[in-house]
A and B are shown apart, each in its own frame.
Chain A
């Protein structure tokens, strides 16, 4: 090790291939030493383990998990099927089919155009949040929910039934945690305030 180089840990040793002494060659002292090291660990408390489904590790406020398609205050879907999220998506995980709003559907969709099919492949998604940034209608958000594991591939293609939040105001998905001051400032710069 050169004089300018700092050792990465305090435990680094200089290695040599000198002839072993008798004590070293009979190995047993080293073996017993090793056994004592492991037995000390045996009685140590197992602090790092988190019993997952019962106990959850705290996650960051801006954690990017499973997506939600938001409704507005009146329960209408915000998404207008513009396709900007699909364009922005680097993993090409988002697909959608647009439809025109019929008479009498004004309570379901906010604008004349909506997505009749909206699918995100959760196995392709890299949870970057670009869809959320791209959305001009504040419709798609990433939430702090974790995508559940499954045995097959198909269930990971989430349709509108899993993505759109429930109509019931009490069951709405809270995305306010993601809206940190920095995020809000960033979104204001995009001059889409009329959609908020």
Chain B
């Protein structure tokens, strides 16, 4: 019980600090992709920039519009942040580690329905955005919220279908089970290239990241659902977005890139604890690569139009997802069955 509590605390702190440093990373990556240098004044290489940004957020006036629904206005950012933080619990960050005679699984919880839990939490995250946009009593915020809801519902379908094919292969919904399958049979991206592609595209839409950042689309909607938010409430929304990005990257790494699996590590016969630490490092390396990839795409590709987004989701990704399920089933039946 106590080791799990400590693990969760560590996970909480790590998630928050990764999210905080993602803001710094985003600005640096954006700058480098645009031949600029990026923040470099707060501390060496601007490493203290997130702290400065956080302090700034707290110093700002916490403004609530007169016509806003006060309770929901308060609830929106809280839901967005909470659900974003809850998702990390089921992700297997590493194999088990033995400390002081007790063996600890580096996974907060391992429910049988791990991947469904992730989906559930992400779906509840929509409420944070919806409530925030609705409570603002502002047409831009409402439009942003409506877009976010429509977008997330649409892309959850495509995402779910791509997962179905993976689950058919692995025969389990548990995230650690999926990792175990990949350790035994090779990474998911090799077995499910089409599924991976669909999942990746949907992950961009689910996290409201460019090129699918319609809900906050500055050029059309001012700030989208967080137009009326200021101070740390806005901070929570931005933070939730970066947390979601971190979790999505971790989920991609877990489902399609073997999680904490390092090929060839098992044959070295290392000390189990050391192997676990290398595994955790590998997991984080994969996750960070995908965070970088999210940023890389954001600063390369222009935003879609909303009808294009819906077109892509309903008319391209969902049929592709179904095709992928059929293909997977066929291959599974003829080759392995």
A-side residues, CB < 8 A to B, are: 28, 31, 34-35, 37-39, 41-42, 44, 46, 48-49
Q: Are B32 and A41 in contact (CB under 8 A)?
A: yes
Determine the chain A residues whose CB is within 8 A of the CB of B34 once the complex forms: 41
Q: Are A41 and B297 in contact (CB under 8 A)?
A: no
Q: How far is the CB of B301 from chain A (nearest CB, A)?
A: 6
Q: Are A41 and B33 in contact (CB under 8 A)?
A: yes
Q: How far is the CB of A99 from chain B (nearest CB, A)?
A: 46
Option from A31, A44, A46 in Cβ contact (under 8 Å) with B301: A31
Determine the chain A residues whose CB is within 8 A of the CB of B35 once the complex forms: 41, 44, 46, 48
B-side residues, CB < 8 A to A, are: 29, 32-37, 197, 296-297, 299-301
Docked complex Cα distance between A42 and B300 (Å): 11
Q: Are A42 and B32 in contact (CB under 8 A)?
A: yes
Docked complex Cα distance between A31 and B197 (Å): 13
Determine the chain B residues whose CB is within 8 A of the CB of A44 once the complex forms: 35
Option from B33, B36, B37, B197 in Cβ contact (under 8 Å) with A38: B33
Closest chain B residue, CB of each to CB of A32: B300
Q: How far is the CB of B198 from chain A (nearest CB, A)?
A: 12
Docked complex Cα distance between A46 and B299 (Å): 17
Q: Are B32 and A35 in contact (CB under 8 A)?
A: no
Q: How far is the CB of A54 from chain B (nearest CB, A)?
A: 11
Q: Are B297 and A35 in contact (CB under 8 A)?
A: yes
Docked complex Cα distance between A46 and B38 (Å): 10
Which of A31, A34, A38, A44 is most buried by chain B, counting CB atoms within 10 A of its CB?
A38
Determine the chain A residues whose CB is within 8 A of the CB of B301 once the complex forms: 31, 34-35
Selected A-B contacts with CB under 8 Å, 19 pairs: A28-B197, A31-B297, A31-B300, A34-B300, A35-B296, A35-B300, A35-B301, A38-B33, A38-B296, A39-B296, A41-B34, A42-B29, A42-B32, A42-B33, A42-B296, A46-B35, A46-B36, A46-B37, A49-B37
Closest chain B residue, CB of each to CB of A44: B35
Which of B34, B296, B299, B300 is most buried by chain A, counting CB atoms within 10 A of its CB?
B300
Given pairs A35-B297, A38-B296, A39-B33, 7 additional interface contacts (CB within 8 A): A28-B197, A31-B301, A35-B300, A38-B300, A41-B33, A42-B33, A46-B32
Determine the chain B residues whose CB is within 8 A of the CB of A35 once the complex forms: 296-297, 300-301
Option from A34, A37, A39, A49 in Cβ contact (under 8 Å) with B36: A49
Closest chain B residue, CB of each to CB of A43: B32
Docked complex Cα distance between A46 and B36 (Å): 6
Closest chain A residue, CB of each to CB of B33: A38
Docked complex Cα distance between A39 and B35 (Å): 10
Determine the chain A residues whose CB is within 8 A of the CB of B32 once the complex forms: 41-42, 46
Docked complex Cα distance between A176 and B31 (Å): 41
Q: How far is the CB of A150 from chain B (nearest CB, A)?
A: 19
Docked complex Cα distance between A42 and B296 (Å): 9
Q: How far is the CB of A164 from chain B (nearest CB, A)?
A: 34
Determine the chain A residues whose CB is within 8 A of the CB of B29 once the complex forms: 42
Docked complex Cα distance between A38 and B36 (Å): 12
Determine the chain A residues whose CB is within 8 A of the CB of B297 once the complex forms: 31, 35
Determine the chain A residues whose CB is within 8 A of the CB of B197 once the complex forms: 28
Determine the chain A residues whose CB is within 8 A of the CB of B300 once the complex forms: 31, 34-35, 37-38
Docked complex Cα distance between A48 and B299 (Å): 20
Docked complex Cα distance between A28 and B33 (Å): 20
Q: How far is the CB of A129 from chain B (nearest CB, A)?
A: 34
Q: How far is the CB of B87 from chain A (nearest CB, A)?
A: 27
Docked complex Cα distance between A37 and B300 (Å): 8
Which of B29, B35, B299 is most buried by chain A, counting CB atoms within 10 A of its CB?
B35
Which of B29, B32, B36, B297 is most buried by chain A, counting CB atoms within 10 A of its CB?
B32
Closest chain A residue, CB of each to CB of B31: A46
Determine the chain B residues whose CB is within 8 A of the CB of A37 once the complex forms: 300
Determine the chain B residues whose CB is within 8 A of the CB of A42 once the complex forms: 29, 32-33, 296
Docked complex Cα distance between A34 and B37 (Å): 21
Docked complex Cα distance between A49 and B197 (Å): 37
Closest chain B residue, CB of each to CB of A46: B37
Sorted from nearest, which 7 A-B pairs have the closest CB atoms?
A38-B300, A38-B33, A34-B300, A42-B32, A49-B37, A46-B37, A35-B300
Determine the chain B residues whose CB is within 8 A of the CB of A39 once the complex forms: 33, 296
Docked complex Cα distance between A44 and B32 (Å): 8
Determine the chain B residues whose CB is within 8 A of the CB of A34 once the complex forms: 300-301
Closest chain A residue, CB of each to CB of B211: A31
Q: How far is the CB of B26 from chain A (nearest CB, A)?
A: 14
